[in-house]
DNA sequence: GATTTATAAGTTGTCGACAATATACAATAT
DNA sequence: ATATTGTATATTGTCGACAACTTATAAATC
C-alpha cells in the first residue's frame, strides 16, 4: 500500500473525482445556492440539468433529494423543484434556532468545564480582519468561531442540525448587503462571549449571544424582505 | 399505474396508494424501523427489497435516501445500508435535544402569552390511560402532549427537527422494556409543567422538563446498553 | 365573447439492463 | 502453514426509455 507521495496526491484528487456523481452534483448545486449564484425561486428541471451536465437523470434526482434534505430546495408538483424562497419568517427562525443551539452549547461547555481557548484564536482573526477591512476573512473567522463553539459542546446531533442551519445562513449572507455591516462591531461582539464563558456566567453568555444574533438577524430579515424573494 | 404492487403487502390506506412508490416504501420501512420490527443493524439491500416488494430498485433507492435523511438508516460502503445502531450516546443526545427544543418552545409560548389550554386535554388523557393501565393510550397521549407543546411555539424549523427527533424516540421506545415504566408517575409529571407555564414560571418549567426527560432517558439508555445494539 | 373540450408539451415516476467496484472464497505458489 | 493471486459473487452507480400525470394551449361550441 506504500507508494510514492506523488501517487498519494493523485489518489486524493481522483478520490474526489470518483465520488458518486450525485455527491459531486449535490456539492456543485449546493455551492451555487449558498453562494447566491442560484437565487431563491430558481427552477431546477431534471432533464435540463442532466443535459447541461452530460449525465443521466438518476444522479440529478438523487442530488436534488440531498439538497431537499438540506432544506435548500423544495418540490413544486409537476413543475419541477426550485430553490426555496427565503421568507422573513424563515430567516428569523434560522437565527433563533442558532441562538438556541449556541446557548445549549455554552451550557454544556460550562457543565463539562471545557477550556475555550480555541475561541480566542478566531476572535483574534476577526479583529485582524476588521482592522484590514477584509470582509471575507471576517466571515470565515466568524463561522470558525461559531463552529468551534458548537463543536466544543460535543453533541453530534446538534452539530448535524447546526450544519444544516448554517447552509441557510450562508445563503442569507450571500444575498445580504454586506456594506451595512460594521466589521469592527461584529468583531467586538465575540470576545465578551468568551470572557463570560471563562467566568462561568451563563446568563451573560445567553444575553450576549442573543443580542449579537438578533441585530444581525434583523438586518438580514429587513434586507431579504426588501428584495421580495 | 393501474395496479399497485404494494397492495399485497397490506397497505390499506387508500390515500397513500396514489402517492409515489418511494413515499409508500419509505413510510412502510419507517414504520418497520420505529416499531422495532426492523432492528438496529439490519441490512437493507436494494435488490432484495425490490424483489420482495415487486418494484424496481429506483423507488427503493429513493425511499432509503429518505430514511437516511430521517437519520434512521446509515450507509455502509459496498455492503449496503443498515438500520442505524442505537448507541447510549445517541439516546442521550436525542433526549437532551428534545429538552432544549421543549424549553425553547416554553420560552416562546410565554413570550407570546399563548394560552396552553390544549395541553390539559392531553394531561387528562394521560391520567385516564394511567388509571386504565393502558400503555398504548398513555404513549399516544404523551406524544400528543409534547407535539402540542412544540406546535404552540409556532416555529416551523424547530418542528421539523423535532419530528425527526421523535422518530428516533419512537424507535427507542419500541425497544425498551415498557414494564419498568410507572404509568401513574409519567402521567403525573405533566400537569405541573402546564401549571408552571400558566404561571409564567420559566425556571420551574425548565426544571420540570429537564428532570422528567432525564429520568426516562436514563432508563432507556441503560436498557439499550444492556441490549448491546 | 365566454366556456367547455380536445390536443400538445413538459415534467416527474418507474423500469430493466449494464458497468464498476469491493468483498469473499478458493486455488496456487512459496 | 502462510501469503498471494485469481475468480466468482454481491452490491451499488448510472443509463436510456417509456408511462403517467399535470399544465398550458388551441379549437370548438354555445
Q: Is a pLDDT exceeding 70 seen at residue B7? A: no
Nearest residue on chain A to B95, judged by CA atoms?
A: A157
Q: Is a pLDDT exceeding 50 seen at residue B156? A: yes
Contact A90 B157 (CB under 8 A): yes
**CA-based nearest residue to B28, from B8, B56, B1, B58:** B8
**Residue B94: predicted pLDDT:** 95
**Residue A228: predicted pLDDT:** 60
Q: How far apart are the first and last CA of chain A?
A: 53
Please tell me the distance from the alpha carbon of residue A189 to that of residue B40, in angstroms, as a whole number. 45
Strands in A43-44's sheet, in edge-to-edge order, are: A43-44, A80-83, A73-76
Question: Which pLDDT band, with edges at 50, 70 and 90, does B4 fall under?
Answer: very low
Q: Is a pLDDT exceeding 60 seen at residue B60? A: yes
CA distances from A220 to A167, B95, B158 (A): 15, 32, 20
Could you tell me which residue, A127 or B76, shows the higher pLDDT? A127
Nearest residue on chain A to B67, judged by CA atoms?
A: A69
Complete DSSP assignment for B117-182:
HHHHHHHHHHHHHHHTT-HHHHHHHHHHHHHHHHHHT--HHHHHHHHHHHHHHHHHHHHS-GGG--
User: CB under 8 Å to B154, separation ≥6 — which residues?
Assistant: B108, B112
Q: Which residue reads 394560552 in cell numbers?
A: B115
Which of B63, B91, B103, B157 to probe by mutation at the A interface, max A CB count within 10 Å? Answer: B157
Question: Which pLDDT band, with edges at 50, 70 and 90, does B160 fall under?
Answer: very high
Query: What region does B115 belong to: left with phi over 0, alpha with psi -120 to 50, or beta?
Result: beta
As a whole number, the mean pLDDT across chain B is: 86
Contact B157 A93 (CB under 8 A): yes
Nucleotide nearest to B61 (CA to C1'): D12
Percent of chain B past pLDDT 70, that is, above it, reads 88
Question: Is residue B171 packed enough to be buried (19+ CB in 10 Å), middle (13-18) or exposed (0-12)?
Answer: buried
| Interface predicted TM-score (ipTM) of this complex, two decimals | 0.85
**Residue B219: predicted pLDDT:** 81
**Residue B77: predicted pLDDT:** 64
* Beta-sheet pairing, B80-83 with B43-44: antiparallel
Query: What region does A218 belong to: left with phi over 0, alpha with psi -120 to 50, or beta?
Result: alpha
**CA-based nearest residue to A172, from A97, A72, A86:** A86
Q: Is a pLDDT exceeding 60 seen at residue B1? A: no
Q: Which of A's residues 21-50 have CB atoms within 7 A of nucleic strand D?
A: 21-22
Please tell me the distance from the alpha carbon of residue A212 to that of residue A80, in angstroms, as a whole number. 38
Residue with CA nearest to D10's C1' atom: B79
**CA-based nearest residue to B70, from B91, B53, B84, B56:** B84
Low-confidence ranges of chain A (pLDDT < 50): 1-17
Q: Are A99 and B104 in contact (CB under 8 A)?
A: no
Nucleotide nearest to B48 (CA to C1'): D11
User: Which domains can be identified in chain B, with CATH numbers?
Assistant: 5-83 (1.10.10.10), 88-227 (1.20.120.530)
**Residue B224: predicted pLDDT:** 76
Dig out the grid coordinates for A28 from the structure. Answer: 456543485
Amino acid at each position: 500500500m506504500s507508494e510514492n507521495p506523488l501517487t498519494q496526491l493523485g489518489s486524493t484528487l481522483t478520490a474526489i473525482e470518483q465520488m458518486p456523481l450525485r455527491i459531486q452534483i449535490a456539492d456543485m448545486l449546493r455551492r451555487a445556492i449558498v453562494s447566491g449564484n442560484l437565487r431563491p425561486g430558481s427552477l431546477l428541471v431534471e432533464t435540463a440539468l442532466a443535459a447541461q451536465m452530460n449525465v443521466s437523470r438518476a444522479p440529478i434526482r438523487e442530488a436534488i433529494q440531498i439538497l431537499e434534505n438540506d432544506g435548500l430546495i423544495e418540490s413544486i408538483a409537476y413543475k419541477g423543484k426550485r430553490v426555496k424562497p427565503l421568507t422573513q419568517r424563515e430567516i428569523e427562525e434560522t437565527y433563533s434556532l442558532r441562538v438556541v443551539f449556541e446557548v445549549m452549547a455554552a451550557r454544556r461547555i460550562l457543565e463539562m468545564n471545557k477550556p475555550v481557548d480555541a475561541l480566542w484564536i478566531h476572535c483574534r482573526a476577526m479583529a485582524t480582519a476588521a482592522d484590514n477591512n477584509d470582509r471575507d476573512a471576517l466571515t470565515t473567522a466568524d463561522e470558525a468561531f461559531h463552529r468551534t463553539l458548537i463543536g466544543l459542546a460535543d453533541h453530534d446531533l446538534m452539530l448535524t442540525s447546526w450544519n444544516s442551519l448554517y447552509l441557510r445562513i450562508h445563503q442569507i449572507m450571500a444575498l445580504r448587503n454586506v456594506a451595512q455591516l460594521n466589521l469592527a462591531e461584529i468583531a467586538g461582539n465575540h470576545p465578551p462571549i468568551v470572557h463570560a464563558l471563562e467566568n462561568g456566567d451563563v446568563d451573560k453568555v445567553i444575553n450576549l449571544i442573543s443580542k449579537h444574533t438578533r441585530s444581525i438577524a434583523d438586518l438580514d430579515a429587513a434586507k431579504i424582505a426588501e428584495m421580495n424573494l
